[in-house]
């Protein structure tokens, strides 16, 4: 029995046999071609590109989630990128490189540039370029694709890495779990594993050396353990833990269609966080009371170009129509920090989380902000729009955002373009400076929502994306709960709506504490909804208020967690 350790990115326990995935490995020609062979090589290049595009178009029809569909769309954009095409053709005609060598060099240079930016998200985007490159090289070599869309039996997939287009079409009925040697929390694989609800452990060093085809394996997507060839006692213990996990999941599912309320009948509004208005993502979310967070940056991140006003208008319109008359809280562009755009490179910053991001970026690039505000206001006539501005640090920021909104309203008035006169204006509370003047903020806005992820990292001075300081990023730190309690009191006094849309809002331990503090609105991923409803339904409001007081009185994060447990 061998126990390996990695990063658990999707909770759950998978027990089964390994299927090792080994992708096509190209053999790049290093010779040059004769001048008279250039026309034929260009034809061969075009044929391989056409075959690659045809494959991706066929794969697009197999995708059934917004995340996987977006990956295929981006890959098609990359294959049709004029700058890549120009570079490959130039190397064939001028340097007389074979098409495989020309494509390998072109794609690698682009991927290397992204990786050298020092940005984890951009580095992950380099995987898209290499994925597309490998697809082209395989078609150039005339090799067939080893697809993961049809597996013969239920297995746990093991690989050095799984590229975006490979995971986008996984045979989910037969994939019990996923384990790879590389990959992190921000990778496509991690995002898709969560979307598919498949237990996954990534970054397992030495996996491919130790794993064998059809070897029994157990993986724990919660703590990141991978147990190869488990003994009988270990298997029985993990089977019992798996059964408990599935029982808890089934028990919570019974609460999905019940209203959010405490045991003594105090109602709470429970919303969902979404990243697009695709039908696949909206499916099931009608059980929520509202949309607490529409992450509009995904419209930008999942596109190969800057979304136009019309493209944004259509996306926002669909969401508003789907939820009407329930509120849809649209967060304006939140790029920077841990989120970047491959086609819109930002200047390198030593501390991007403390730099020009979100609202600050929109103020530096006014046209981006103006386009988004126009699209949002135009769509507002189709539903109940709440407009929320992220990364606000002062009342000056709030007033500048209001001025920008007023300017766009004046533009639309001049153009006689209709928009709703009842759009709510609010902000994200995620900067400690704005949280500590919440009493003043409540007088300036219609509503606010707390982004606990960023608020926690700024309070604890620990980058939430840096595994080296993970022990210092304490999401149950008493200081965070004390700040949240103060913000809640300020908004209750002002009688203004206040929500939580960060991780704590969907945390089954923390959500009852937030309710006890007076938060009447919590927003979360759809998958968290039944667990939070279940947790709230088990306690009365007086019990939750006592719990909140105890948590705020705790001296350490461990004490706070023990209170909640």
Mind telling me the catalytic residues? 188, 501
Closest listed residue to residue 559, CA positions, set 550, 125, 275:
550
> Does residue 213 contact residue 159 with C-beta atoms inside 8 Å?
no
User: Alpha-carbon distance 4 to 21, whole Å?
Assistant: 18
Task: From residue 151, give the alpha-carbon distance in Å to each of 158, 174, 335.
Answer: 13, 6, 38
What's the CA gap between 158 and 201, in Å, rounded?
A: 10
Checking phi first, is residue 476 left (phi over 0); if not, alpha (psi -120 to 50) or beta? alpha
In this structure, the chain runs to a length of: 565
What 8-state DSSP symbol labels residue 342? T
160 phi and psi angles, rounded to 5 deg: -65, -45
CA distance 189 to 194: 9
Query: Mapped to the 3 state alphabet, what secondary structure does 181-241 carry?
Result: CCCCCCCHHHHHHHHHCCCEEECCCCHHHHCCCCCEEEEECCCCEEEECCCHHHHHHHHHH
Distances, alpha carbon 525 to alpha carbons 104, 281, 474, 507, in Å = 39, 11, 21, 10
Helix (H) / strand (E) element for 389: namely: strand 384-389
| Cβ atoms of 136 and 45 closer than 8 Å | no
Ordered alpha helix ranges (H), 445-527: 452-460, 478-494, 510-517
Q: CA-CA distance, 461 to 465, in Å (whole number)?
A: 12
Decide if 517 contacts 541 (C-beta within 8 A).
Answer: no
Residues 490 and 436 sit within 8 Å (Cβ to Cβ): no
> 3-class DSSP state for residue 488?
helix
Look up residue 386 and give its two tokens.
């709440």
Q: Which two tokens stand for residue 171?
A: 């045979």
Give CA–CA dist 221/18, Å, rounded. 16
Alpha-carbon span 103 to 162, nearest angstrom:
21
């Amino acid at each position: 029995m061998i126990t390996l350790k990695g990063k658990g990115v999707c909770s759950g326990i998978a027990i089964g046999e390994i299927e090792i995935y080994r992708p096509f490995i190209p053999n790049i020609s290093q010779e040059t071609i004769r001048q008279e062979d250039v026309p034929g090589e260009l034809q061969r290049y075009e044929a391989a590109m056409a075959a690659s595009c045809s494959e991706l178009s066929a794969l697009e029809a197999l995708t059934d989630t917004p995340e996987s569909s977006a990956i295929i769309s981006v890959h098609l954009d990359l294959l049709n990128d004029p700058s890549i095409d120009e570079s490959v053709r130039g190397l064939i005609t001028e340097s007389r490189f074979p098409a495989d060598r020309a494509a390998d060099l072109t794609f690698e240079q682009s991927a290397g540039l992204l990786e050298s930016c020092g940005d984890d998200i951009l580095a992950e985007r380099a995987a898209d370029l290499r994925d597309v490159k490998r697809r082209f090289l395989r078609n150039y070599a005339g090799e067939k694709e080893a697809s993961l869309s049809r597996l013969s039996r239920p297995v746990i997939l093991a690989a050095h890495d799984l590229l975006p287009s490979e995971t986008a079409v996984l045979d989910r009925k037969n994939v019990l779990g996923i384990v790879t040697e590389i990959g992190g929390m921000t990778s496509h694989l991690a995002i898709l594993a969560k979307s598919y609800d498949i237990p996954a452990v990534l970054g397992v060093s030495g996996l491919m050396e130790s794993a064998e085809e059809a070897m029994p394996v157990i993986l724990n997507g919660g703590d990141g353990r991978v147990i190869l060839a488990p003994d009988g006692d270990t298997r029985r213990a993990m089977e019992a833990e798996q059964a408990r996990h599935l029982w808890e999941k089934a028990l919570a599912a019974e609460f999905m269609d019940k209203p959010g309320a405490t045991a003594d009948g105090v109602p709470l509004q429970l919303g969902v966080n979404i990243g697009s208005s695709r039908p696949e993502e909206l499916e099931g979310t009608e059980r929520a009371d509202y949309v607490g967070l529409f992450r509009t940056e995904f419209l930008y991140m999942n596109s190969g170009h800057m979304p136009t006003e019309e493209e944004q208008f259509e996306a926002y319109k669909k969401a508003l129509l789907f939820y009407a008359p329930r509120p849809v809280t649209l967060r304006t562009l939140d790029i920077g920090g841990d989120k970047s755009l491959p086609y819109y490179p930002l200047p390198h910053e030593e501390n991007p989380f403390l730099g020009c991001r979100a609202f600050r970026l929109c103020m530096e690039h006014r046209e981006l902000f103006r386009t988004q505000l126009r699209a949002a206001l135009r769509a507002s006539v189709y539903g109940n729009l709440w407009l929320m501005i992220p990364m606000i640090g002062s009342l000056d920021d709030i007033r500048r955002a209001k001025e920008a909104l007023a300017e766009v309203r004046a533009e639309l008035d001049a153009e006689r373009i209709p928009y709703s006169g009842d759009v709510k204006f609010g902000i994200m509370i995620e900067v400690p400076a704005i949280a500590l003047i919440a009493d003043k903020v409540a007088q300036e806005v219609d509503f606010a929502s707390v982004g606990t992820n960023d608020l926690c990292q700024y309070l604890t001075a620990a980058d939430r994306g840096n595994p080296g300081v993970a022990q210092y990023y304490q999401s149950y730190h008493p200081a965070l709960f004390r700040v949240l309690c103060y913000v809640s009191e300020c908004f209750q006094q002002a009688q203004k709506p206040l929500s939580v849309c960060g991780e704590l809002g969907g945390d089954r331990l923390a959500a009852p504490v937030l309710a006890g503090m007076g938060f009447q609105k919590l927003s979360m991923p759809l998958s968290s909804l039944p667990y939070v409803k279940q947790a709230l339904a088990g306690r009365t409001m007086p019990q939750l208020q006592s719990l909140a007081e105890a948590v705020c009185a705790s001296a350490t994060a461990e004490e706070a967690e023990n209170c909640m447990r």
